[in-house]
Structure 1
Amino acid sequence: MKLKLLFFCLFLAVLLIPAESKHKHKKDHEPRGHGKHGGRQKIKLTFEDIIGDVLFKDTSDDDDDEDDDFNLEWLFELQEPDGRCTPNPCRNNGVCQEKGKRNFKCDCPEPFRGRKCDKGPRRCRRGLCGRGECVLTSSPPFYQCKCKWPFQPPDCKHIAVCEPNPCQNGGQCIQEGNNFDCQCPEGFRGRFCHVGPNDCYVDDGETYRGNVSETEDGYDCLYWNSHFILENGRDPFNSFEDSDGLGPHNFCRNPDGDSRPWCFFRKGHKLFWDYCDVTRCPKPTKAPTEVVPTVPQPTSVEPPSTTASPSETTEVPQVITKPTEVPVVPELTTKPTEGPVIPSATAEPQQFQTCGQPQPRKTLTRIYGGLKVSPGAIPWQVSVQEKPKNSQLSYRHVCGGVLISSCWVLTAGHCIEPNKDMRVVMGSMALDRLDPAAQTVEVEDTILHENYRKTTEAVYNDIALLKLKGTEGFCANETQFVKTACLPDAQLPDGMECTISGWGATEESDYGSSHLLDANVLLISQEKCSEPKIYGSVLDPSMFCAGHLLGGVDSCQGDSGGPLTCKNNGDHVIYGLVSWGDQCGKKNKPGVYTRVTHFLDWIRSKTQATP
């Protein structure tokens, strides 16, 4: 019986291993991100989850080095540039001074510090807020603790489950050990019954100012002024409120022109985002109305506490309805574009006349770069999808790719498999639901490099072209969300910061991210990457390395074949394709990319020779 119980526990452990940990056991020298995308599961935060959260370590004496590991991947020391000050390695307006042939020094403005002026003042140390989230404020002591109930303010170390009552709007608190449930009055919902019956959004939710603070999957939203999501090194001593509805709260908003309200959330040390569990306002039968809740106080979704200070007291927002001129939201009746879109004769001269010029709807200036991609920010990113030849099965995402002209997509060679029907989806930020601006075009032909070769050590000449189906040279249609990246015309300097993007699906994971992600990496010199402790002699001129030599962000956050783009002379050029690597985010094992400059003649010969 004990043996059966042991096997059962081991079986459960295998099922519960998160995707991030699976990445760490990646087979050596394996092509990156050639996998599938799967579903999600609704979660409910429990007392045991809070106690087991690695971020709520109950100590406040961590030293500076440990605190660095806590502040996300961007605080790792990155691969050092050649010692030149162009491009400037100093962040936050630091002044770079060259010292010798391969060294430099950054003079940092207050309050920044560090070799590259990338570290701001430490206000939120691990354990400072007990079992709670530390948020930055603009007045002393420049931080505040937001407790995870049933832990109580001000330090989030003491427990009180249902006394005081955390449930708002007349909700009844039902205690189960150290856990609780709020039984909400009719029309109210949310973990604390804080979401009213008229809490909904219109259009894309840009004007939404309601109280929903959970994702569709049930994760608690982080506060917008959480130190965990504010951009590394950005001065925290300013107002956190703006016209986009952001502020010292954790309510869902849409500050970047996405399709609906969303928020950031956290799993362990990893930062994610997702759409929120907020409903669209129904069509009005008469004059349309807009729900405008009063602007809540910073702690408005926290349950009231009889021991809390006045600043910690909860205010229940009053819901006010008023007439508005917001137009009625029509039902989505248009499907994503299937097949080639042929512009009219008057539109033909404007199609893809420029490259490498994104037009994002809005940018998130205060929020962490390298995670939330604004719509239109990476318009050349495509999802390469396949299914068995002539089958009735659904297409599945297998790789990333990059649009280089109306009818050509560049991807990795190891993404090409025989006996498959293939298509590409462009202009969509998500895999689980296509955006209205998405274009879906079938692949007419695949061209794998003639010298493509995969060994146990590396993948050589890992490049392929996808020719899209079209008419008279038109396949994809250029829009704000579908544009081409430029081909590079020269080598770029080592140490330059570039961007990788993708959905992060891998063979070891049944799901990657359902939303497009990006991350910043640095170009690493061939000499450095060919050192024995890194990749040694397996590298050839068709490859290069990029990433962080001390680990952290890696191309596991992207997909095979996806783009590594660099901004050069104002244009975004496709400098590399995600290819292979030794595990994921491992020290001294950065991602390896196909060097596009090495294949320029091959690309041009194939795309120009094929009508």
Structure 2
Amino acid sequence: MGISKNAFVFLLFLYSVQGNLLDNYIKTEGAWILSHNKHIYKTNNPEECAEKCEAETKFTCRSFTFTSKDQQCTTLAENTKKALVLRRTNAVLFEKRMYLLECRRGKGEDYRGTESKTRNGVSCQKWADTEPHVPRFTPDSNPNDGLEENYCRNPDKDVYGPWCYTTDPKKRFDFCNIPECEEECMHCSGEKYQGNISRTESGLECQPWDAQKPHSHGYIPANLPDKDLKMNYCRNPDGEPRPWCFTTDPSKRWEFCNIPRCATPPPTTGQGLQCLAGNGDNYRGKIAITESGKTCQNWASQFPHKHARTPENYPCKALDENYCRNPDGESRPWCYTTSKDVRWEYCSIPSCEETKVEITAEAVDEQVPNTEDCYQGNGATYRGTTSLTVSGKRCQAWRSMSPHSHKKTPAAFPNADLRLNYCRNPDGDRAPWCYTTDPSVRWEFCHLKKCGDLQTVVQKPVQTTTESGTADCILGKGKDYRGTTAKTGSGKTCQAWSSQTPHTHDFFTPLTHPHAGLEQNYCRNPDGDINGPWCYTTDPRKAWDYCEIPKCPPPQYECGKAKRKQKMCPQRIVGGCVSNPHSWPWQISLRTSFEQHFCGGTLIAPQWVLTATHCLERSQRPSSYKVFLGLHHEAKKDPSLQIRDVEALFKEPDGADIALLKLSSPALINDYVIPACLPKAHTVVGGKIECYVTGWGETQGTGGEGKLKETGFPVIENKICNRPEFLHNKVKSTELCAGNIDGGTDSCQGDSGGPLVCPEHDKFIQHGVTSWGLGCAQPRKPGVYVRVSSYISWIERTIANN
């Protein structure tokens, strides 16, 4: 049903009384419009500024900016369709939805879009002009009907919708082809449907998108601001054939909704491309062979593979013949194959770019040396590969105009090295920055520090430290004590460990225990004596005695915050890159009693490690395992190395692939060893959120063997991961998927039990334990991780009781 102009004004009034007036605006942080037609006010908040915009009489207010620091409100006659958009710190732009819509509600009386051609392609005459036709409706006679420029409008409420006077002397006026807004109906596959239907096709009520019960999921509204995930309304955020929702029925996770198709044709998307740009959703070429040479199956056919990607389900995606296409938001065009053994594959489509930069894992290691990724001065010369902002948002590629159009392109700034989506400073701002992939945040400064502000990590023997420096105290049994006390509790001077006078001894020497710190005559505990450090004495009548060394206070640390910045490898640890040493200080190496690495794990508290249950299959005895901490080189004995025996094993009682190890004594928390943070119970990390895995596992010839490697890739929502073409319902709700759908990066053998951590604010949270996968880094087979948040209660209870 259409909304009259008077009714629309009344609705705005209702919003201000009953709801939020800002619902009528699109919000973009960090954006500023350059405009001469404006009015400046002092207001306390954006809501008050919106009221000023609604009440503006000097011009038609299409948008406003608000700066919280200055409490300054600027109402504007322009929006991003009509004016230059600039970056500005602390500014937030609000644009009226009605002036951004290129669709009509009902008869389109309130249509304020910019279509200026008739349905037959004839240009419209300006409403203020008198040639070639003398108009009945003009800006002066109809000041409230938006008769600006030569845009299509409906000032007389014509039942057929917006129209205009034409520039053809023989045709006085004609109607415009303005599609219906997707509120009561849908175009294409309903990707832009914004109506209020909230029941599925079988009549089940939809679960609200911001709820995690009865079904937990990763479609979090805050993480997907462009998907309009309001209330419990049916939506299509992930490329399904039509809108759907999670249901309130615990036995039915999700279901499609019945949304009628709009009667008017869908919006035109322009002429299709014959080459690959972006993810290729606009590719309309005639390549019909996959990258491995297999012939594509016709989209209308169900043989040899049955599927739902049909021309009927995706009417706007040009699923003609068997040509390669991207109907559902994949990373590039693909097709089902005519081989019964291979369901689908990607296609090799030539790039539209004249040159395409290919960065291999080895090249990244060359570009990013094992030093801190930092910037000098204002970062104008920064050439690193960081591509995350201070709030953890992924950067938009400089060549891309989506989601934010801009003029900071490689062509416009040829000397600024605007490669891929790496953080840069092309315009002399105070630090490197980038446009973000979040439609609601135009730009942010990057997750980088000035080189002078970084703490340099120096390889040196590990010592027990407090905030005031080296402390002569012990943790636990003092097995890692490296202080300089050299007298026993009874006051006797200690004998040097390398000396055989006055007491001869063969077992506890620097040669027999090279990692025990048996230098000079300092008190030590090489055998893990329960009473603490001791030494041989220089008294011929007393062979040895205990030393009196006070207990250290509990270590103070912030979980998830490394002392050295992560490289945050942007490449395709299979296909990843070598980490900056000690930048993932919670990573441990789980080893056999013979000190051979076979699994990973995560330090989550000074005396507790989280790993996978299947890593403990070789033995039920704790003495069969050792934990190595503070390592970068798998085989090398780093000076920062700490070794702990395992005191106890705790497997999750219901058979989940997650286990806890209690160490024989607490790890020494320092610059090289820091626990990761745990998530809150039952929290779900959203789909497409970038996370990171680390490990010393199989690299399959990609280099970096023997050094800790890292790789970053997005979380994949379970609903997508369980599609037949991916992992076919093998992923449980207590697990999560992560990886690149087209392969190239993954965890692999030897990485099992290790962490999958996600940046949140300025910390890393462990959301996953590396569990299983079908091969390593294979296309369409992402890795599967135990969802840590599902087991927080068990973890906390186990630690508290043991």
Q: TM-score, normalised by structure 2?
A: 0.35
* Structure with the higher fraction of residues in strand conformation: 1
